[in-house]
Structure 1
């Protein structure tokens, strides 16, 4: 089977409320959706959620890179030639991981549909009984974050992640307020998104020792592995690296420096499922548990991440929360409480609403 057509849609997904993290605020979520079609009519869907602060890509630039540089490389290729295709991508242009992920995901969706298998069966089989998802709370006043957290726990969520990374004094209040609101039986994770320096991070970690935080994620700038190592050396809780690792070369540096306990793999940072598998394998060799993180993707990117998490035992946690944050999505995903549901349907197991995709699309193109 050969790929005969690539459609690219620059769309904006409606959020239930603004999403606020240390470095930006999102009132809606810009995304790039890709649709691959074979000569036989089989269709696979992919997605890019670029982030100028993380992947170095913008919404517009990602659309143009896919349209002019990457998508043409797929015409008349087999979707199963995943290694060759990634080599072609990398020879054509360096970086641009979310642009590459948009096509990589669609290739895996295609492979699953062609073989009649869910994607997780293609990458390792079912490694977990279930995937629990957390609720992620964006930056607000401490009291409001505590109210949100309490409401989510009442709704059945067993894991709460909070965004911090502004003023350390207020961040300490946020962490304490949320812990007090959810009790001790609910797990709590803290993500600073590079918002602190070393001294600030050490202060926050020290002054929240009684909050029983599972881990502190990316407390300092992505490039500052020395500070990350120093923080890890004295932290009572685990330290997770996120923005500091995009590819296996970054991970080698983290492992050699012993700079982190855990790794947050994101499809948009790594360039898709294929390079993400390499990260998971290297992390497993280093004894470093992983998480599949979210860039607030639609149902497409979310289920891609869920299949990745399901297919690798070293991926112990996930944040497949994007669909919970949208007022309407491009496909339906089922959650049973805080557990994401899988089906035996081939590919990512979702039915994309192409009419809604066109409704939220600002501009698009077709490559043949």
Structure 2
């Protein structure tokens, strides 16, 4: 008898790709934070299509505060996605190494490719995306909702609306004027009562000593954390705030990669890190940064994922597998974004619940007729 001929397993290949620019209006045309206004949310949807027709979806947010525009992101996505055609659809690491070599920087565009590769692999394997990162360790992600920068009364109105929706943690955008910002915090605390958790985000609008003075003046309102009070390059100032104030200090813009997260951890510059898929260039880098935080005993959470449910779905699937999230995450901001081409995600009792659907857990709406 002859031994049966060995047959190599069929390797699923990436057959083609598509890039679809979108501009999703915000329900509040005056939505803004310090230095930036976002009446609409620009992005490019990335589709990587396997030979059997399976589609992996990614979302490349064109945030201007990260130096991105839709036209630039679209151009880079075509440059990065084209070399992936014909490659093994399950070889995520090898494919991302090729993407990293394709162009320097460009984290928003690379994040879209990264997410599409992970989504495609999960769909081909028939598993929820969180299985690619070790499987889920929680059923739901407690949510922190953002309050856009407005006058004190406007922010108090926003705060009451979020509490009426069932959320119990809020992040206030503040603008860098100590007196005005104290008035904002006071108004929100009076509007929501003593039980709601509050954090602050100046978006780098303070100098270190002003940030310290501001925290001292709002201490009576039970604020738990301040995010990125000084500019991203002022690590000495960031460390000074961390050493001086009694509440937690979180890095956002200063923690833009695993490498920068490592530097913050090694020098104990902050107490916590805001993880973001777009800022860090995708799920792989966020996972690495989260592990650095875990090893260094730094707090971490998923920062704002503003845009389509598609962006949030990837962030939520990764959150499901991260054991060291220590604070509510900003994973419900899609609720104020209109004309979303994707559907899915369950928000209940102030939390986003983890989907066990195959892939990232959201679907293209049936009425959307893109040619992919």
TM-score (norm 1): 0.93
RMSD between superposed Cα atoms in Å: 1.6
Structure scoring higher RCO (CA < 8 A, sep ≥ 6) equals 1
Counterpart of 2:337 in structure 1 is 326
SS at match of 2:159: helix
2:50 to 38, 48, 63: 38
Counterpart of 2:69 in structure 1 is 58
Counterpart of 1:344 in structure 2 is 356
| CA distance in structure 2 between the partners assigned to 1:215 and 1:357 by the alignment | 44
Counterpart of 2:256 in structure 1 is 246
| CA distance in structure 1 between the partners assigned to 2:45 and 2:91 by the alignment | 21
The 3 A distance-change label for structure 1 pair 71 and 311 is same
1:218 to 220, 223, 228: 228
| CA distance in structure 2 between the partners assigned to 1:296 and 1:90 by the alignment | 24
1:177 to 139, 163, 187: 187
* In the alignment, structure 1 residue 162 sits paired with structure 2 residue 182: no
Corresponding pairs, count:
358
After the TM superposition, which residues 201-280 of structure 1 pair with which residues of structure 2 at under 5 Å, given as runs? 201-280=211-290
SS at match of 1:246: coil
How many Å apart are 1:260 and its aligned residue? 0.5
| CA distance in structure 1 between the partners assigned to 2:130 and 2:250 by the alignment | 25
Counterpart of 2:144 in structure 1 is 134
Between structure 1 and structure 2, the one with the greater Rg is 2
Contact 2:332 2:352 in 1 (8 A): no
* In the alignment, structure 1 residue 8 sits paired with structure 2 residue 24: no
How many Å apart are 1:62 and its aligned residue? 0.8
* In the alignment, structure 1 residue 77 sits paired with structure 2 residue 87: yes
Contact 2:242 2:269 in 1 (8 A): yes
TM-score (norm 2): 0.92
SS at match of 1:232: helix
The 3 A distance-change label for structure 1 pair 172 and 357 is farther
How many Å apart are 1:357 and its aligned residue? 7.2
Query: Which blocks of at least 5 consecutive residues in structure 1 are unaligned?
Result: 359-363
Q: Residue by residue, what CA displacement relative to the aligned partner does 1:277-310 show, whole Å, maximum 9, x if unpaired? A: 1111111110112111124121111000001111
The 3 A distance-change label for structure 1 pair 183 and 99 is same
Counterpart of 1:188 in structure 2 is 198
Contact 1:6 1:34 in 2 (8 A): yes
Contact 2:211 2:241 in 1 (8 A): yes
SS at match of 1:17: coil
SS at match of 2:57: strand
The answer to which of 346-355 and 269-278 deviates more is 346-355
Query: Which blocks of at least 5 consecutive residues in structure 2 are unaligned?
Result: 1-11
